[in-house]
Structure 1
């Protein structure tokens, strides 16, 4: 019986999030009321508030759905990374970027980013930041595999280098989201070019003379990857 109740709860949650994603895409985040989401999801308004404190939390749940699917897809790259390190990182980033508009559109991303920036210490803001950290950790895990295989230098701090790569990609994604005219393949190509440049430095057998990738404070709250 407990298992049935849990499945019913998960089903209601999924219906809420998917209904919200459809409505936000069609009418814009500001143009959608909680009552409309409840009607589309075939639940009561009270049920939505049992799951989420606000409409903003529902939007971040849509972002979470997007990111969780992206991370799951990225596991395929980690399972069998390409021999070329830049190709491996760009395969991962290609998944991140191309899947980013599956449930959300640019207006929805802007709303989510705005709320997380305005209220960084709120549950919503911390959840949004946590999603970014999960993606960043996956990049670090990929670099750790590439390092173990010899595709990047043994001197590379994979946690710091992974954060640099992720932040570079993420800032270009933010610019893409801010520009309604920007096309997906253009940003994928632009990210690919910058990634290739950074990874070419990481692939050096010895550390460059000027480098922030060898030592310094560890980045991120996750455990340090093995060297």
Structure 2
């Protein structure tokens, strides 16, 4: 009986998130009410609040799904990076970008980013910042992996370099989200050029 209740709870959770995702995409975050999401998910408003405190929690859950999935994908690159630094960076970061619109539109990303700034002391902002930290740590882990394999210079601080790389890819993603005309291909091409320059800084000196 306990297993059945757990499965039913998980299914309701999935239905609520699926309904929120669809309605946010169709009508926009601001125009959607929690009552609309509950109706679309075929649950009561009270039941919805058992899972999510407010509409912001629903958006954060979608952001979390996005980041957790890209972290899982990125782990494969960190565990077995190609022997080319620029390619390794492109694979990891390109994976982040390719997945970025699976759950969230540009408009929803703008809303999520705005909420972290407008309400910086809230649990939403703290959780969003923690997700960014997880992504930063994965980039740092890639730099360390490249060093351990003798591909990247050992005298470079992997934590500092990983942070630099993440802050750049994150700022470029913010520009992508802000500019409707900017395509995913534009974003990836621009960051690939920057990755190539960073790869030169990480490359081991040629043996003379």
CA contact (8 A) 1:17 1:62 kept: yes
How do residues 41-80 of structure 1 correspond to structure 2 at under 5 angstroms?
41-80=41-80
1:218 matched residue in structure 2: none
Q: What are structure 1's unaligned runs of at least 5 residues?
A: 207-227
CA contact (8 A) 1:18 1:62 kept: no
Residues 158 and 22 of structure 1, relative CA distance in 2, 3 Å threshold? same
CA contact (8 A) 1:106 1:178 kept: yes
Cα offsets for 1:160-197 (capped at 9, x unmatched) = 11111011000000011001111110000101111111
CA contact (8 A) 1:154 1:205 kept: no
1:213 matched residue in structure 2: none
CA distance in 2 between counterparts of 1:190 and 1:133 reads 23
Q: How many residues align?
A: 206
Q: Which has the higher helix share?
A: 2
- Match of 1:153, SS state, is coil
CA positional deviation for 1:115: 0.3
Q: Does 1:129 align with 2:129?
A: yes
TM-score with structure 2 setting the length? 0.94
Cα offsets for 1:22-46 (capped at 9, x unmatched) = 1111111111111111112122111
How do residues 106-121 of structure 1 correspond to structure 2 at under 5 angstroms?
106-121=106-121
Q: What are structure 2's unaligned runs of at least 5 residues?
A: none
CA distance in 1 between counterparts of 2:156 and 2:18 reads 41
Cα offsets for 1:138-166 (capped at 9, x unmatched) = 11111111110011101111111111101
CA positional deviation for 1:205: 4.0
TM-score with structure 1 setting the length? 0.86
1:96 matched residue in structure 2: 96
CA contact (8 A) 1:19 1:41 kept: yes
Superposition misfits of 4+ residues, deviation over 4 angstroms: none
- Structural RMSD (CA): 1.4
Residues 22 and 143 of structure 1, relative CA distance in 2, 3 Å threshold? same
2:159 matched residue in structure 1: 159
CA positional deviation for 1:8: 2.5
CA distance in 2 between counterparts of 1:2 and 1:195 reads 50
